[in-house]
Structure 1
């Protein structure tokens, strides 16, 4: 388990496989980040929870060519971005800083 702390102080215990989907966190883990809690500066708990949800969903989809799973994922992605403008803006900021764009493309 990896422990993440949002900008507003909320703690998230997340499976390492999920956190490795975020390039910034992945690099910190690979570089043997010596702190027990990885801070997420300027990322609120609301946005942290959304990003974790997104990574979990994409991690769960089989890597094989399963058309049903891919359609389900497209449906999830479409619903995921149906949020208020502020939330979408903050998700885009996280995407820029953590390479989440790999999935959003």
Structure 2
């Protein structure tokens, strides 16, 4: 395995250096590096990821660098060029990720909402499924057991329904209460 250092440039221009072995968990970076003969001489620009979030992404990737289960989940999706969305397959992988949430994961995702949402956007952009799954899981946990109003308050969401429309939606979907 190579330990070549590559440079990543965040949206505001800061440069972070990271080993290829660490950042290969990113499908985007892995794909970009596959098109090069060796590590690039220039920093790889990542216009959709700011410096602090990129540093957190690198921290996550370093932590799981040698975790075969998380790497296998990532590579099973990225290596299959003819992969098509399959709900059952996707649910299995998400479930496998969620079943293995560690104490480190819980601590890593104890961040403010803005940082958490930025991590979701970065994980999606960079193509790091375990990071994306765990970040989304953290958001889902923020909603678990809350009423509609509590969720709106937590995420600062304003209802665009009139009181009459909201009453109609509740009435039309009353069967959901039985779930």
Q: TM-score range by the shorter chain?
A: 0.7 to 0.9
Output one character per residue of 1:62-89: Cα deviation in whole Å (capped at 9) or x when no partner.
x38xxxxxx7x71111111110000000
Match of 1:18 among 19, 22, 33: 22
5+ residue gaps in structure 1? 65-70
**1:102 aligned onto 2:102:** no
Structure 1 or 2: larger strand share?
1
Per the alignment, residue 55 of structure 1 pairs with 61
Deviation at 1:104, TM superposition (A): 4.7
TM-score of the aligned structures, taking structure 2 as reference length? 0.49
- May I ask how many residue pairs the two structures share in their alignment? 97
Deviation at 1:60, TM superposition (A): 3.9
5+ residue gaps in structure 2? 70-99, 134-179
TM-score of the aligned structures, taking structure 1 as reference length? 0.81
| Higher relative contact order (CA closer than 8 Å, sequence separation 6+) | 1
Q: Which runs of 4+ in 1 moved over 3 A?
A: 102-105
**Partners of 2:105 and 2:132 in 1: how far apart?**
8
